[in-house]
């Protein structure tokens, strides 16, 4: 099941050059499982046709305030009531002003007034317009009223100027829609997630690392953000882009991760260490590249400090969750690690399998809890596994 399955999203498209990007947004929302109904304003229809949006959304496109969906339903009331989310992208300066002023003189502005669903606004306009006192004041007032914004990106605009005003990237808009439509079981909680491998330098060109891609840790961070947490992600060297709408701290070595996680954990309600932190590092890194001809075939290794054990010794009231990547005796190794490190739960998976674990988009895990219970999660996408783990952790340790 995709994140937006079963959700009804009403997309308002207003009159700006960015209206063409509504096609991408409709496709992305539908790919994520949402039903999409489009309201196209009169000025929006000068940039993109109703037929295009109807073809992509698989639903009629609404343009007229006085259209009836059926003989017994008033159009704007039906759309307002069916929406789980009202998204306006692009949102022009004009529509922001109308919403702030309570003006309802067309179908879209009337639906805004009539809906009880959350409203997500993605502005797009000339940089000078976006910076104007009137627009800034309208944005501030709407934020105070509970509207949510996805700020525009910076770049070259259609008018030729460079600055803020471009419609935010489609993935950014869709991710905020996911956040708004996910239950807030972690609302008010501060979460720290460690993810990815570490790299321990041998010399300026060589290092020791492991096969962790960081995907599971990133999924844990993204799921926590969607569930309403204030998330700090501490990530080792991965090829993954920083997740949206959270603080990401990039580190390289186990020592750097220890410092970053330790500092962030001081104010955290929960810490999840999905990172594959190196157990050993070279005793010292050579200042120059080691030449093959002079290498004595020995690298002296010393143990790194165990981050989870360190947190477990001074845990306070925070919840600690670890991960165990095992190749044999999954239960024995995971449970022993949980007890030794004083954890509330540990998520164990068999990394000897090629269809799950390192580098894969899927996982299959067993979650062991400190009270002796366990939870099996069948193979699924890592974001689904992450959501299920958080639900289980919240039920046991972080009740709302």
Six-digit token string for 249: 């701290």
Helices (H), the chain: 22-31, 50-57, 75-82, 93-101, 107-114, 127-131, 133-144, 170-180, 215-226, 254-265, 307-313, 330-340, 382-397
End-to-end CA distance of the chain, in Å? 25
Q: For 15, which DSSP code? A: S
Which member of 159, 162, 187, 378 is catalytic?
159
Three-state DSSP class for residue 301: strand
User: CA-to-CA distance for 36 and 9, rounded, in angstroms?
Assistant: 5
**Burial readout 370-394 (b: 16 or more C-beta within 10 A, e: otherwise):** beeeebebeebbbbbbbbbbbebbb
- Tell me whether strands 200-203 and 68-70 are parallel, antiparallel or unpaired: unpaired
Q: Judge contact between 388 and 219, C-beta under 8 A.
A: no
User: CA-to-CA distance for 217 and 323, rounded, in angstroms?
Assistant: 9
Q: Judge contact between 76 and 107, C-beta under 8 A.
A: yes
User: CA-to-CA distance for 315 and 309, rounded, in angstroms?
Assistant: 9
Torsion of CA 97, 103, 108, 112, to 10 degrees: 90
User: CA-to-CA distance for 307 and 330, rounded, in angstroms?
Assistant: 21
Burial class (CB in 10 A: 0-12, 13-18, 19+), 17: middle
- Tell me whether strands 362-369 and 374-381 are parallel, antiparallel or unpaired: antiparallel
- Selection from 60, 6, 34, 61 nearest residue 174 by Cα: 34
Q: Judge contact between 138 and 111, C-beta under 8 A.
A: no
Active site includes 159? yes
Apex 160 CA angle, 156 and 164, nearest 5: 40
Catalytic residue annotation:
159
């Amino acid at each position: 099941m995709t994140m937006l399955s079963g959700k009804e999203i009403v997309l308002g498209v207003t009159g700006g050059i960015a209206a063409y990007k509504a096609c991408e947004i409709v496709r992305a929302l539908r790919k994520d499982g949402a039903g999409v109904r489009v309201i196209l304003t009169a000025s929006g229809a000068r940039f993109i046709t109703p037929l295009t949006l109807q073809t992509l959304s698989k639903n009629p496109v609404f343009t007229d305030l006085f259209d009836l969906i059926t003989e017994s339903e008033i159009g704007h009331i039906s759309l307002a009531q069916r929406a789980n989310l009202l998204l306006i992208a692009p949102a022009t300066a004009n529509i922001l002003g109308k919403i702030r002023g309570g003006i309802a003189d067309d179908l879209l502005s009337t639906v805004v007034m009539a809906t009880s669903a959350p409203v997500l606004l993605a502005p797009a306009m000339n940089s000078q317009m976006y910076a104007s006192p009137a627009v800034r004041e309208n944005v501030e007032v709407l934020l105070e009223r509970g509207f949510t914004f996805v700020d525009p990106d910076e770049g070259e605009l259609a008018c030729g100027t460079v600055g803020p005003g471009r419609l935010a990237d489609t993935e950014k808009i869709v991710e905020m829609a996911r956040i708004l439509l996910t239950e807030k079981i972690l609302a008010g909680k501060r979460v720290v997630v460690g993810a990815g491998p570490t790299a321990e330098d041998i010399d300026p060109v060589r290092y020791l690392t492991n096969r962790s891609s960081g995907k599971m840790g990133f999924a844990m961070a993204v799921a926590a953000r969607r569930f309403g947490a204030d998330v700090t992600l501490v990530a080792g060297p991965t090829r993954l882009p920083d997740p949206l709408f959270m603080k990401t701290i990039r580190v390289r070595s186990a020592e750097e991760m220890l410092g970053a996680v330790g500092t962030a954990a001081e104010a955290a309600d929960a810490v999840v260490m999905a990172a594959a932190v190196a157990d050993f590092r070279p005793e010292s890194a050579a200042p120059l590249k080691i030449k093959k001809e002079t290498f004595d075939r020995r690298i002296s290794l010393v143990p790194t400090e165990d981050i989870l054990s360190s947190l477990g010794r001074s845990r306070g009231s925070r919840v600690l969750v670890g991960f165990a990547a095992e190749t044999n005796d999954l239960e024995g190794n995971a449970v022993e690690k949980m007890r030794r490190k004083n954890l509330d739960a540990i998520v164990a998976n068999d990394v000897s399998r090629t269809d799950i674990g390192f580098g894969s988009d899927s996982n299959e895990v067993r979650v062991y809890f400190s009270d002796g219970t366990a939870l099996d999660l069948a193979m699924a996408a890592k974001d689904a596994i992450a959501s299920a783990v958080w639900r289980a952790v919240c039920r046991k340790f972080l009740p709302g």
